[in-house]
Amino acid sequence: MDVFGSFTLLLAFVCAVYAFVGGIAAIITRHPLLVKSTRQAGIATCVLIFIGTFSLEYLLFSDNFSQAYVVSHSNRDLSAFYKIAALWSGQEGSLLFWSFLLAVYVISVLIAYRHKNGELMPYVGVILAGVQIFFLTLNNFVESPFKTLANVSASGVLEPFVRMDGNGLNPLLQYPEMVIHPPNLYSGYTGFTIPFAFALAALLARYPGEKWIHLTRKWTMIAWCFQSIGILLGAHWAYAVLGWGGYWGWDPVENASLLPWLTGTAFLHSVMMQEKRGMMKVWNVWLVFSTFLLCILGTFLTRSGVVSSVHAFANSQIGPWFVSFMLLTLVVCFVAYVKNHDYLKSENQLDSMISRESSFLFNNLLFLVACIAVLSGTLFPVFTEWFTPSRISVGAPFFNKIMIPIGLAILFLTGVGPLLAWRKTSTDSLKRNFTWPLVAGALSAVLAYILDYRNAFSLVCLSLCGFVFWTIVMEFYRGAKVIAARSGMSMMMSAHELAMRNTRRYGGYVVHFGMVLIFIGLAGAAFNTDVQKTMNLGDSMKLGPYTLVLQSADTKPEKNYTAERMIVEVLKGNKQLMMLYPEKRAFQGRDQANGTMVAIYSTLREDVYVVFAGMDPDTNLPVIHAFLNPLVKCIWLGGVWVVMGTLLALMPNRRAALVIAGATQPAASPVAPALTPSVTLRESHD
């Protein structure tokens, strides 16, 4: 099976090269058969990558310990669930997984648009094949996952050998979220290849209008959604597994995942400027290019060992390959831009400084500044090594100081944007729109103060959350009121109808609401407290309003590990709330490999987060480290709303009866009066 897997990847590489070279020939000659055959080659590449990936999974599931990858990342007792995750737990497998996910996107695009956009698709096919060639080069010639173990015999001949068992999966990865976090994050990274391919193709082909944006908008949202889920799941994994009481440590690998998310978010906003007003075309194209390049950069940072991180893969020699690919991509983008920049000329002018357009410009500025600040902070240790004799670390305190003000400014604009009209906002409108949200913001600050959240940044953050929340409520209320008045439906049903009529707009507001919840959660971090105590059985510790009592300890043998558990009772006053079981796990297969399992009692107001931090070397008694983390749950709930909002935005609009300007309005249908809009609707692009 290893030879078969290796062969399919090699064949995939050949097909990708054909799709690339043949595609260029097809663009030049415009020969229909050549166009068709290169598209088929693109599809064949993807199918072969699927087969190669399944071959590696088969080797993992069949415990084939003649394979170096299987030995390094699996063992006999590893559950099937984690044998799936072993695919992306190592350098070679995760690169193959990259190719796999990219192939899923590529085959979807090639099939979905096989009869559409005949002018553009050959270019798209060539660009996608180019990206696939790069990853298949790594899969085949640099970091092949199909390497057979061999020993040098006494006669000097290489002889294959089979190990009895493997080393097992890294204990940190043996957690359910680790099975879904990397696929989501990688789906985000790989997904941004599609808008990149369409943007570059449109530029190269000088494809008319904003059609490439309409074609790729959903792909961008899908990639963004996956990236968001991946980041949040990663944060939750760090919170629940690493046992340090936090969820975001500004680690280089965490930062690497945030960079394309920031530019991707900026693009999702600025793209509206191009759709509605024909503006910011150059900016949008470069945002897409940057997002893709940052995805590659993130992958490079994670794998090259250029920055140190607990999340990084083992150091390898693939760094120069990534740097070369990034430089080549940058050169291609730059040449394409220089040759065709006149095609990107903006059509419209700006009427007023106080307009939706301006808010988008500042929104984009802040996202970009955030991105560059995180990037330069992440790479600063490398720069210091180049220019000074010592290396300087850049840790969480630096990023917090830089990013909190930027984050608050972005939150402010999240509320301001929807209150401003396109083109120009009158003073009356400003007064009318801003009064109640500002009142809500002020009341939120007072409420936060009363509830004892007395920290300057947190108060500002919670106040802005109130402000943004009220703008969202107002947007729904105003629209729903019109529909309710015309249809007689309840406000709730009207709000639902409203959202379904313009899913993208109201889906966006739901995403904003999710972000408000996330910011509320982040504001709570200023009030985290913790206590660490060496405890005997029956001892207790105070943690805010809670009392933790160490009731007993036991050992729980499992198939792949043995857990040492502390049984901790949580009381509030005299009321028993629940039992928590923080544990340490000793995994088989890896020498002295330990993992931890945090126990959390979570409420909307706060988390009681208990870690069994090991045995005190002096007393040989268990050390319990307990944290009281306010508002953390809001972050995870916010993530759910972000996903729901994105899914809503991805849905097609429910068509209201369009009243075309100048046309005779038909008599209102007695069956569906609610579907007659109050104003002339512009047809959406869906």
Partner 1 sequence: MTKRRSLFVLALVIAMGVLPLVAQQQQADRVKAIGGKFLCMCGCSQVLTQCNHVGCTMSAGMLKELGQWVNRGDSEATITQAFVQQFGTTVYAEPPKTGFSLIAWAMPVIYFVAGAALVLFVISRWRKRPQAAGVDAAAPVTAAGVKISQEAMERGRAQAARETED
Q: How far is the CB of 347 from partner 1 (least distance, A)?
A: 8
679 belongs to the binding site for partner 1 (CB under 8 A): yes
Segment 245-304, which members bind partner 1 (CB under 8 A)? Answer: 245-246, 249-252, 272, 276, 279
Q: What is the DSSP letter of 168?
A: -
- List 118, 176, 395, 545, residue binding partner 1 (CB under 8 A): 395
Closest to partner 1 by CB, 428 vs 452, is 428
Q: CB within 8 A of 111, min separation 6: which ones? A: 43
- List 256, 394, 440, 468, residue binding partner 1 (CB under 8 A): 394
Nearest to 2 by CA among 78, 71, 77, 89: 71
- List 262, 611, 626, 674, residue binding partner 1 (CB under 8 A): 611
Residue count (the chain): 686
Segment 4-23, which members bind partner 1 (CB under 8 A)? Answer: none
Binding part of the chain for partner 1, among 37-45, 73-81, 391-399, 573-581 by CB under 8 A, reads 391-399
Strand-by-strand arrangement of the 606-615 sheet: 529-534, 622-630, 606-615, 599-602
Segment 300-329, which members bind partner 1 (CB under 8 A)? Answer: 308-310
> Does residue 268 contact residue 260 with C-beta atoms inside 8 Å?
no
# of chain residues touching partner 1 (CB under 8 A): 79
> Does residue 656 contact residue 676 with C-beta atoms inside 8 Å?
yes
- List 365, 447, 640, 658, residue binding partner 1 (CB under 8 A): 365
> Does residue 80 contact residue 67 with C-beta atoms inside 8 Å?
no
Q: How far is the CB of 485 from partner 1 (least distance, A)?
A: 14
- List 37, 137, 148, 352, residue binding partner 1 (CB under 8 A): 352
155 belongs to the binding site for partner 1 (CB under 8 A): no
Mapped onto helix, strand or coil, the DSSP state of residue 537 is: coil
Q: What is the DSSP letter of 140?
A: I
Q: What is the DSSP letter of 658?
A: P
361 belongs to the binding site for partner 1 (CB under 8 A): yes
Binding part of the chain for partner 1, among 2-10, 80-88, 298-306, 416-424 by CB under 8 A, reads 416-424
Closest to partner 1 by CB, 63 vs 254, is 254
User: What's the number of CA atoms in the CB half-sphere (13 Å) around residue 410?
Assistant: 21
398 belongs to the binding site for partner 1 (CB under 8 A): yes
User: What's the number of CA atoms in the CB half-sphere (13 Å) around residue 18?
Assistant: 18
- List 200, 242, 543, 624, residue binding partner 1 (CB under 8 A): 242
Segment 489-528, which members bind partner 1 (CB under 8 A)? Answer: 502, 504-505, 508
Binding part of the chain for partner 1, among 63-71, 112-120, 345-353, 534-542 by CB under 8 A, reads 345-353
Question: Between 319-340 and 121-137, two packed helices, what is the crossing angle to 10 degrees?
Answer: 160
Q: How far is the CB of 424 from partner 1 (least distance, A)?
A: 6
381 belongs to the binding site for partner 1 (CB under 8 A): yes
Count other C-beta atoms under 10 Å from residue 415's C-beta: 25
> Does residue 177 contact residue 240 with C-beta atoms inside 8 Å?
yes
485 belongs to the binding site for partner 1 (CB under 8 A): no
Segment 447-476, which members bind partner 1 (CB under 8 A)? Answer: none
Binding part of the chain for partner 1, among 12-20, 320-328, 401-409, 551-559 by CB under 8 A, reads 401-409
Nearest to 317 by CA among 328, 332, 306: 306
529 belongs to the binding site for partner 1 (CB under 8 A): no
Residue 102: phi and psi, rounded to 5, are: -60, -40
Binding part of the chain for partner 1, among 208-216, 243-251, 326-334, 668-676 by CB under 8 A, reads 243-251
Binding part of the chain for partner 1, among 125-133, 358-366, 447-455, 548-556 by CB under 8 A, reads 358-366
The 587-606 contact track toward partner 1, x by CB under 8 A, reads -------xxx----------
Closest to partner 1 by CB, 2 vs 210, is 210
What are all long-range contacts of 105-109, with beta carbons under 8 Å and residues at least 24 apart? 105/190, 105/191, 105/193, 105/194, 105/219, 106/42, 106/45, 106/46, 106/132, 106/193, 107/42, 107/43, 107/46, 107/47, 109/194, 109/197, 109/219
- List 259, 584, 589, 608, residue binding partner 1 (CB under 8 A): 584
Q: How far is the CB of 671 from partner 1 (least distance, A)?
A: 24
156 belongs to the binding site for partner 1 (CB under 8 A): no
202 belongs to the binding site for partner 1 (CB under 8 A): no
Number of H helices, E strands in the chain: 19, 12
**What is the rounded CA–CA span in Å between residue 600 and residue 540?**
17
